[in-house]
Amino acid sequence: MRNILSILALISLFYQQLPAQEHHAEVHHETAEAHGECSCHHEEEYSPSAVAFHHIADANAFHIFGDLYVPLPCILYAPEQGWSVFMSNAFEFGHHGDGKNAVEGYVLHEGVVMRVVDASFPREKVAVECFTSREAEVDGKKREIYQVMYEGNCYDLDRKTTLDGGMLGGGISSYYDFSITKNVFTMLLTVILLLIVFLGVAKAYRTREGQAPKGMQSLMEPIVVFIRDEVAVPFLGHKYEKYLPFLLTVFFFVLGLNLIGQIPFFPGSGNVTGNLAVTSVLAIFTFFVTNLSGNKHYWEHTLWMPGVPAWIKIILTPVEIMGLIIKPTTLMLRLFANITAGHIVIIIFVSLIFIFGDVGQSLTGSITGIFIAVPLTMFMMSIELLVAFIQAFVFCILSASYISAAIEEPHHH
């Protein structure tokens, strides 16, 4: 029920977004041509999908409210100019996360650091006027290129380098971003919290041997025992001890990140498990653990299935090899899509206030919106809480089932 709901919302969102973007870019393109130079367009109409995508994205600063941001360290490297290290409040946060300054050729747009490509742009700290965007064709695909206006001229902005090879719209650009971003900060915070909890519990088990669990031990022991008895032992049999640490680590890491992502303000709000890069690394761990522990039986059944005619083997082997990659891919997409969809639905429900209220024009509309949005958001957040546990559990149980397929002993008939 919940998944269908969120997937439907995701679809309607994509559906709305595509025509809206095209329209917006077109209008701007015309004005740019008409004036012969660039100009800053002013606030367009309120778009819930743009707000939602902005909120689930990674950023170089934590937004609290209004123009108040928590700065994070920026560690940037461009082959042309070397390393730049500074705190992101050097940009002076303005409206919508746009920085008022350019620092060493970098600017902050919508909370994200971008680099000015043009070499004639000053590389010291200067004030910039505003941000805009233009439509351009790169490698046969239409892309929106952000621009910054400085002393009446517009300069193209480069986005940070990503390793997706352009598949998700990124690629190698003129600089690399190694910053402690919102996601990295949240991940480090979760790791520290988990270390504090588990080192404390481990110490308690050493010092209180033979006694009943106490405090944090009583909270953690049922969860660990649940993963052992419901996931590890039924799937992995007598070899479960070897894989239990991996399963528990994945479970608590995903659960911790999911729960911290539910907190809508400062130490939380980082959408880490809703980031494809994070979930893909987790899935790659499962891929390696599965395939490195695969026995002869597993590889024989993958590469040259015994007991079927040779011409079927020719079809079966490529399918099995694809299966090796598809299994971790679904792990990656499932976690990403569930968490992202949940966050988007919450933001869309909150957006109802602005839609009904005509973006602050109508008080009655806003109040109606609040009465609709608050119960819906509360409902969605409680379901999200459930999903945080279910998705951590599903990631763990599916990893266990893939590993169990790889270490299964042959049974002769």
Partner 1 sequence: MTGTLAAIGAGLAVIGAGIGIGNIGTKAMDAIARQPEVVGDIRSNMILMAALIEGAALIAIILAFFA
Which residues bind to partner 1, rule: CB under 8 A?
A: 3-4, 7-8, 10-12, 14-15, 17-19, 167, 230-231, 326, 329-331, 333-334, 337, 390, 393-394, 397-398, 401
Of 93 and 402, CB closest to partner 1? 402
How far is residue 43's CA from residue 399's CA, in Å, rounded to a whole number? 47
Of 8 and 188, CB closest to partner 1? 8
The structure tokens listed for 79 are: 């082959």
CB of 336 to partner 1, least distance (A): 9
The answer for residues whose C-beta is within 8 angstroms of residue 394's C-beta and 6 or more apart is 334
CB of 398 to partner 1, least distance (A): 6
Of 158 and 221, CB closest to partner 1? 221
CB of 280 to partner 1, least distance (A): 13
Other beta carbons less than 10 A from residue 263's beta carbon = 12
CB of 346 to partner 1, least distance (A): 19
How far is residue 48's CA from residue 54's CA, in Å, rounded to a whole number? 10
Other beta carbons less than 10 A from residue 8's beta carbon = 12
DSSP string, 313-332: HHHHHHHHHHHHHHHHHHHH
CB of 174 to partner 1, least distance (A): 26
Of 9 and 103, CB closest to partner 1? 9
Task: Give the CA radius of gyration of the chain.
Answer: 25
The strand pairing partners of 90, in sequence order, are none
Of 103 and 335, CB closest to partner 1? 335
The sign of the torsion formed by the CA atoms of 139, 144, 149, 153 equals: positive
The structure tokens listed for 351 are: 């957006």
Backbone angles phi, psi at 267, to 5 degrees: -65, -20
CB of 281 to partner 1, least distance (A): 18
CB of 21 to partner 1, least distance (A): 9
CB of 299 to partner 1, least distance (A): 23
Q: How many CA atoms lie within 13 A of 201 on its CB side?
A: 17
Of 231 and 236, CB closest to partner 1? 231
The structure tokens listed for 1 are: 């029920």
Of 19 and 82, CB closest to partner 1? 19
Of 211 and 329, CB closest to partner 1? 329
For residue 392, give the nearest of 261, 209, 215 by alpha carbon. Answer: 261
User: Residue-wise over 194-229: b if at least 16 C-beta within 10 A, else e?
Assistant: beeebeebeebeeeeeeeeeeeebeebeeebeebee
Burial class for 314, CB neighbours closer than 10 Å (0-12, 13-18, 19+)? exposed
Of 216 and 394, CB closest to partner 1? 394
How far is residue 268's CA from residue 70's CA, in Å, rounded to a whole number? 12
Of 12 and 362, CB closest to partner 1? 12
Do 88 and 114 touch, CB atoms closer than 8 A? no
